[in-house]
């Protein structure tokens, strides 16, 4: 069968690559065309658009790039029409994907959503569009299933794909990793995860780096995002005791003692490696105040949302200051805060279920597509 996958961010590329591998296991004749990145391309299939050309963060940035966004939407619709897939698979990236889903449903394409839009966080009215335009939803967070079922929409909880990505990785040798990346061989490492988009990295890194001189017994290491070139980070590497590792976040977390993390999937990844963390978030003034009016959540980090209590400290907007960062980092470097976070991480993992999210989602997508009778209705494969 033919599958068309749309992922618009680095995390979507990771989870999309594992989904592609699982789809090929379930359907050995799978023909796959996708929007994504290098990981998905290595997994097999035809890359249409790279996510690096799609990443616009915040309300203002989206407004400034509307012409490009609408051009991409038009191109995507034409490309899907030409390819005639048996199944469309959307991975997160809701602003773009929900627009395509509406059109695709009208064209009688079968629509699947893997990794739900965060309708539980804001603009819950979007669930009406999802119920109208999505044939099958595969969620990765336990509370998402509860949310959708409360809105009379049955979904599949498949577990979190991060567990697969971490379990399937080749673990780095700690000493070798330090030597290869020219890190201090003895100092404990504090990982800095400032995000994956230029706008957020520029906002976050200067603040994160403003506390390094208070912690001379530690080495700070910036986790470079795969979506950004190393040259972009050079201006942040002028301080002593600050190093850089590109596209090796999991290896870095595996040897880290603590972390400062920009809110997002990275907070959950950090928890999976049992690394105590402080969660950071700061947007431009307009984006923040718009978001504040539409987001109804008590917490912004996935760790706290899943646990339904404050496990990790969140420093948001004006609370994100040099002084507060210093105080909160000191706490997680000592007891009892350090042990408390690590103990909570154990319970977090239990709530997320076991490994196999990608395989479960792929099996259901293939099975549901075949059962729907869509095979050969759009393609002759």
pLDDT of residue 59: 54
Q: Determine how many CB atoms are found less than 10 A away from the CB of residue 66.
A: 10
Please report which helix (H) or strand (E) contains residue 224, including its range: strand 219-224
pLDDT tens-place values along the chain, 381 residues long? 999 999 988 889 989 999 999 999 999 999 999 999 999 999 999 999 999 877 655 555 566 667 778 899 999 999 999 999 999 999 998 889 999 999 999 999 999 999 998 887 667 788 999 999 999 999 999 889 989 999 999 999 999 998 988 888 889 999 999 999 999 999 999 999 999 888 789 889 999 999 999 999 999 999 998 878 889 999 899 999 999 999 899 999 999 999 999 988 899 999 999 999 999 988 754 555 445 554 556 888 999 999 999 999 999 988 999 999 999 999 999 999 999 999 999 999 999 988 899 999 999 999 999 998 744 444 433
- DSSP letters, 69-100, are HHHHHHHHHHHHHHH--SEEEEES-HHHHHHH
pLDDT of residue 39: 93
Compute the C-alpha angle 40/45/47, nearest 5°: 65
Sheet holding 277-281, edge to edge: 242-246, 219-224, 189-193, 256-262, 277-281, 313-316
pLDDT of residue 56: 56
Enumerate the H helices of the chain as residue ranges: 10-26, 38-43, 58-64, 66-83, 94-106, 126-133, 142-150, 161-167, 174-180, 198-209, 230-233, 249-254, 265-272, 285-294, 302-307, 322-332, 337-352, 357-371
CA dist 250 → 143, 149, 154, 163 (Å)? 26, 34, 34, 12
pLDDT of residue 320: 93
Cα atoms in the Cβ-side hemisphere of radius 13 Å centred on 146: 4
Please report which helix (H) or strand (E) contains residue 48, including its range: strand 46-50
pTM (2 decimals)? 0.78
Residue 378 backbone dihedrals phi, psi, to 5 degrees: -115, -20
- Is the distance from CB of 186 to CB of 255 less than 8 angstroms? no
SS (H, E, C) 293-354: HHECCCCCCHHHHHHCCCCCEEEEHHHCCHHHHHHHHHHHCCCCHHHHHHHHHHHHHHHHCC
Among 95, 108, 90, residue whose Cα is nearest residue 66: 95
Among 362, 346, 302, residue whose Cα is nearest residue 5: 362
């Amino acid at each position: 069968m033919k599958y068309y996958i749309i992922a618009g961010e680095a995390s979507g590329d990771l989870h999309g690559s594992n989904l592609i591998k699982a789809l090929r296991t379930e359907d050995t004749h799978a023909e796959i065309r996708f929007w994504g990145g290098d990981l998905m391309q290595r997994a097999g299939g035809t890359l249409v658009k790279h996510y690096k050309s799609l990443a616009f963060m915040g309300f203002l940035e989206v407004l400034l790039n509307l012409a490009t966004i609408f051009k991409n939407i038009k191109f995507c619709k034409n490309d899907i029409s030409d390819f005639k897939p048996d199944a469309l698979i959307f991975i997160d990236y809701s602003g773009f994907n929900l627009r395509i889903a509406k059109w695709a449903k009208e064209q009688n394409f079968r629509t699947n959503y893997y990794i739900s839009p965060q309708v539980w966080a804001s603009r819950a009215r979007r669930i009406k569009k999802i119920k109208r335009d999505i044939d099958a939803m595969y969620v990765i967070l336990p509370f998402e299933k509860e949310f959708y079922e409360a809105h009379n929409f049955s979904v599949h909880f498949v577990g979190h794909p991060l567990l697969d990505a971490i379990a399937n990785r080749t673990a780095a040798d700690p000493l070798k990793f330090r030597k290869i990346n020219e890190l201090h061989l003895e100092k404990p490492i504090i990982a800095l995860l400032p995000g994956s988009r230029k706008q957020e990295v520029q906002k976050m890194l200067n603040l994160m780096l403003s506390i390094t001189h208070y912690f001379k017994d530690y080495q700070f290491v910036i986790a470079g995002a795969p979506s950004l070139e190393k040259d972009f980070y050079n201006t942040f590497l002028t301080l002593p005791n600050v190093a850089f590792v590109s596209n090796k976040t999991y290896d870095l977390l595996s040897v880290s003692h603590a972390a400062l993390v920009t809110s997002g999937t990275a907070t959950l990844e950090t928890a999976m490696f049992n690394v105590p963390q402080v969660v950071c978030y700061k947007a431009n003034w307009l984006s923040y105040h718009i978001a504040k009016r539409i987001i109804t959540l008590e917490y912004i980090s996935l760790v706290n949302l899943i646990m339904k209590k404050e496990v990790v400290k969140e420093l948001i907007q004006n609370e994100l200051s040099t002084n507060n960062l210093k105080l909160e980092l000191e706490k997680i470097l000592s007891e009892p805060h350090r042990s408390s976070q690590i103990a909570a991480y154990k319970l977090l993992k239990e709530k997320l279920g076991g490994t196999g999210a990608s395989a479960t989602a792929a099996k259901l997508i293939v099975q549901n597509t075949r059962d729907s009778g869509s095979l050969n209705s759009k393609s002759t494969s």
